[in-house]
Amino acid sequence: MCKFNFFINHITIKTKNILITLVKILIGLISFYVIYNRLAQIPHLKEQSLLWLHNTKIISAIIITLLLMPLNWGIECFKWKIITTQVEPISFKTAIKSVFTGICLGNIAPGRAMEFVAKIYFFKSENKPSITILHFINGMFQMLITVTAGICAIAYTFNSNTNNQSSLLFYIIIFGGVILISIFFFFFFNIGYIQNKLKFIKWFKLKEDAKSLSFNKTIIISLLSLSIVRYTIFTMQFYLLYSSFSASIPFFTSVAGIAGYFMLTSIIPMISVIEPAIRAAIALFVFNSTPENSFSIIISSTLLWIINVVLPSGIGYLIILKEKINFKTSK
């Protein structure tokens, strides 16, 4: 009987993983189709692409976006240093290694599932359970800002259309957004209480070893402020790239679209190999683009992914090689 139950559980887990993978592949295939369909509608695409290669405005935007990348991830490293201090203080240099190797390893597994494995490597074994929890809490700080901005973007988009101002859906979105944001804040100010509740969940394997965590208001405000600054930076990056390709969309409409784009990309599951296609398809959907500016949106989202994800992953890989890190062994 025990063997039968184990077999059933094994099949269930295996089937679930297969289904999740199939869903992600389906999302990727749909994304490729959407992109191909939009590009096929663009007249003189090749000639237009060649002209862009010699456009100083575009080149300047790419250079500025590249220069903003170290600032973007530098803030994330500083956030990581702050949030881990109560468990195990680390230097900024160690925080850089932890974050960048995390980006690298995170791109190997779908949904960045392996990111925390790299990040906790640089901490003592006895502190790793607590650091793992802090990794997810740190992500929630950035998610709060992303979701809040996304909800504001939806509200702005609905409000700009007079037909939607009295729409029931508009009020449902606003109400849902307020509830969701309130839950986030309750979580941040009651981390210790929630951690104790998690101890009753069987799959929460870190319950025995993790230290009791709590943050004072100064740390919470600092982390939220840094998350806002970081969000502003990668919004600026996207806008610089997008506007440089002569996309004729008003500023506030562009910013609202970018906020909606970041919210959706943080929610929809990704597979590293087809991630740029999924991101581009989401951008096309959010901006509701015409054939004329479709290529601008596709190239902007792809360039942003290369600059903010691929390049940092490469830096992380170099750190792994230099430090001769083996994630199968503990420090």
Model-level pTM?
Answer: 0.77
**Positions of the chain with pLDDT under 50:** 1-11, 43, 45, 200-204, 206-208
Q: For residue 72, what pLDDT is reported?
A: 95
For the stretch 287-326, what's the b/e string if a residue is b when 16 or more beta carbons lie within 10 angstroms of its beta carbon?
Answer: bebeeebbbbbbbbbbbbbebbbebbbebbbebbeeeebe
CB atoms within 10 A of CB 57: 13
**What is the chain's alpha carbon radius of gyration, rounded to the nearest angstrom?**
22
Is the separation of the CB atoms in 254 and 239 below 8 Å?
A: yes
**pLDDT tens digits for range 99-141:** 999 998 887 766 576 788 889 889 988 888 888 888 888 888 8
